[in-house]
Amino acid sequence: MSSDEKSYEITWDPTTGIARTDWLPGAVCGIDVARDVDAEIKALGQDKVLSLVDLRQVASIDRPAREFFMDRNPNYRAVALVAGSASTRMLANFFLGLKRGSIPVKMFTSEADAVAWLQAQP
């Protein structure tokens, strides 16, 4: 993946009301990419969003990026992290243990469960 290629894709699903971030295979997320993701979420123009983050293909998210995501609470109502392998579950658990913000964040191995949980959030 070259430096000018995005390592993620963000989509808005008006049916579910969920902003989705899919990390591409082997994606590496540093602080600049984290800022880009956050800006794209904000550019959706949906105020505070329900966010589903698919971590199943990501290779790594560095500490400054993880901390940035946890501090970006104004753009999110709730965040569901979807992890598949042991390494992505470890990464998701790291997010959850990093610090408790003002928004609910929960890890799932099932995308359907993640969507159901997000839609149940106030």
Q: Is residue 104 domain-resident?
A: yes
121, part of any domain: no
Does any domain span residue 1? no
- Angle among Cα 106, 107, 113 to the nearest 5 degrees reads 90
3-state DSSP assignment of residue 17: coil
Q: How far apart are CA 20 and CA 51, in angstroms?
A: 6
Look at strands 27-29 and 49-54 and give their pairing. unpaired
Q: What integer pLDDT is reported at residue 52 of this predicted model?
A: 96
21 lies in a domain?
A: yes
> What's 46's domain CATH number?
3.30.750.24
pLDDT of residue 101: 65
Ranges of the chain with pLDDT below 50: none
| Structural domains of the chain, count | 1
pLDDT (tens digit per residue) in 50-85: 999 999 999 988 889 988 887 766 788 999 999 887
24 in any annotated domain:
yes
Is 2 part of any domain? no
Q: Domain limits at 88?
A: 8-114
The distance from CA 79 to its chain's CA centroid, rounded to whole angstroms, is: 7
Q: What pTM was estimated for this model as a whole?
A: 0.86
